[in-house]
Structure 1
Amino acid sequence: MTLEWEQVVVDAADPVALGRWWAEALGWVVLNDEPDEFEIRPAPDRLPGIIFEPVPEAKSGKNRLHLDFRPVDQRAEVDRLLALGARPADVGQGEQTWVVLADPEGNEFCVLSPRRTGTG
């Protein structure tokens, strides 16, 4: 296979503010802080990254693609992300083991429960 996953591109009203929020939420580094292409990565030489690009229109409706994160301690991560400015989101998920949040511009993402360990 010759494809390498390079980036996820996120439309944003304010790419710099949203990119900085995600950099802090993920503990990633900023590679490019230009307002027309704000880029973050796990480390300068690690892929994939996330690029935030400006768009004039506001987000409308549920995301067609979203990110899932699996922390060691779901409750602690949800609390931390809420303190950073995320907010609870209802996309019709009902009662689940994961928590749906939205970033400051309303993009939904999920915080999963920890992986089960052991056999069986």
Structure 2
Amino acid sequence: MTLKFDEICIDAHDATMLGRWWSEVLGWPHDVDADGDVVLRAPAGAGPNWLFLATPDAKVVKNRIHFDFRPDDQQAEVRRVIGLGARRVDIGQGDSSWVVLADPEGNEFCILAAED
């Protein structure tokens, strides 16, 4: 038996808003499926699709899983994503080479330093 990593499912209080936001951050196309879920279609080789599912529950604790992104220019990417509505968050990372941000619903993610 073989498994294929097909989707990452993300609960969201406002799936439409959050899916569109991440679509803009990643530059991936999005659409709404027959169930009303927002699907971000990953370009070939970019990983699995992202599926945003509406839930009435608000996020209340630190994520148990998060995304790390490695840009060509860390500071430029941090400025760009903050300009789109992300915010810096402190989850106890201290002085580190990565920057921890949160999306509009508070989900943490990291912008890593560029590779040398």
TM superposition score normalised by structure 1: 0.89
Q: 1:96 to 1:37 in 2, by over 3 A?
A: same
Tell me the distance in 2 between the aligned counterparts of 1:46 and 1:71.
14
Where in structure 2 are there 5+ consecutive unaligned residues?
Answer: none
Question: 2:83 corresponds to which letter in structure 1?
Answer: A
Residue in 2 that maps onto 1:105: 105
Q: Deviation per CA, 1:56-110, whole angstroms, max 9, x where unpaired?
A: 1100110000000000000000000000000001111111000000000000000
Aligned residues: 116
Where in structure 1 are there 5+ consecutive unaligned residues?
Answer: none
CA contact under 8 A between 2:42 and 2:50: conserved in structure 1? no
Q: CA RMSD in A?
A: 1.9
SS at match of 1:42: coil
Q: Does 1:96 align with 2:96?
A: yes
Tell me the distance in 2 between the aligned counterparts of 1:33 and 1:77.
30
Residue in 2 that maps onto 1:28: 28
Q: 1:111 to 1:10 in 2, by over 3 A?
A: same
Residue in 1 that maps onto 2:57: 57
Greater shift, 41-50 or 86-95, is seen at 41-50
TM superposition score normalised by structure 2: 0.92
Tell me the distance in 1 between the aligned counterparts of 2:97 and 2:35.
37
Greater shift, 43-52 or 83-92, is seen at 43-52
Report runs of 4+ in structure 1 exceeding 6 Å deviation: none
1:55-94 equivalences in 2 (<5 Å): 55-94=55-94
Percent identity at matched positions?
50
SS at match of 1:10: strand
C-alpha displacement of 1:32: 2.8
Q: Deviation per CA, 1:15-60, whole angstroms, max 9, x where unpaired?
A: 0000000000000011436673110022389751110001111001
